[in-house]
Structure 1
């Protein structure tokens, strides 16, 4: 019995893969094989994550809104919502000015000219018969503009004008003539000549394509309406 045990121990020792010099000793695993396995498993988990139906963002289809997130809007979902859904509340719209005073007179003048051109062009391109959403969007923009205008003291004066003469958004003519009247109030304060508001369409036409089916608005009735609220 002892002889058999000794023989088995000898056979086990000779055939052990850990024995130095044994032909059964394991070879080191190539690094390429380790890297391949790692990338395969990584790719598997990434694809599994992307195709998981329980996640808010999925691969190959429109994402679902996650109500637990504070702000989660995808571009495909914007068309299904009203513009007013994205307008801040009144405390944000009518807050105080944000920017500091602008001391460089040259920069202030250049900024003013560029801003009036942008604002007048915008109101000239505003729809003649805007929807409630479009009216709310323009009104919100004007109030936010009065807070964020880079010239702090200019923004403050513009806010004072808006308190006395709130934005008019019922039509293109109403919006453009209201802004022109505000422009002339600013010109009066700065000692500049009055601008002829009847020349808005000629001076601030962006050159965009016009809707051939759109009917021109009645500028006369709009001017009469605004004259009740704005100085001549």
Structure 2
């Protein structure tokens, strides 16, 4: 059996197969709660914890799960990690827990998590599954943070508002007021603005990919045009 390429696993999770920008999975929480940077970061951390835990667990027991019942077993394992994450947030970040609300238990239905369990963790060892879960989680969290930052900036002219909900009272000083607004720009803070902001992020990724492909093509042409030395 060939050794997994950890570099490719990382690149897929962070960029080439990003669950939010490429696979377009988990869009319900992505668009619903990412109206501030901190909300996006909080949900991203919770999702990453579940992704890593479920990937490791599925990989560990994959040889003992009958194929006919693997999906229900995966869902039960994911649900147990979601419950643990929910209890931890309830205990240590209660205010953020209240803000995220129903979208924490809905992590169970996140297609990214069940998809990685089925497509990767059930077919690979523990270490590659850990790296896959971590990188997919970081990729998803990065999009959540960027989306939240963009919407928060456009909607209320701040960044890191509500940081104390995640990091404690001392973090209230982290709030940055970029410009003053008399009234919040509701379009950016409501779901329609989330679709618009996500579209901008996807467009930005596509532009970068095309430029990278163009550079790689030009480099290939220059290399092939060099005369061979006899």
Name the TM-score, length of structure 2 as normaliser: 0.24
The structure with more helix, counted as a fraction of residues? 2
Whose RCO is larger (CA < 8 A, sep 6+)?
2
Name the TM-score, length of structure 1 as normaliser: 0.24
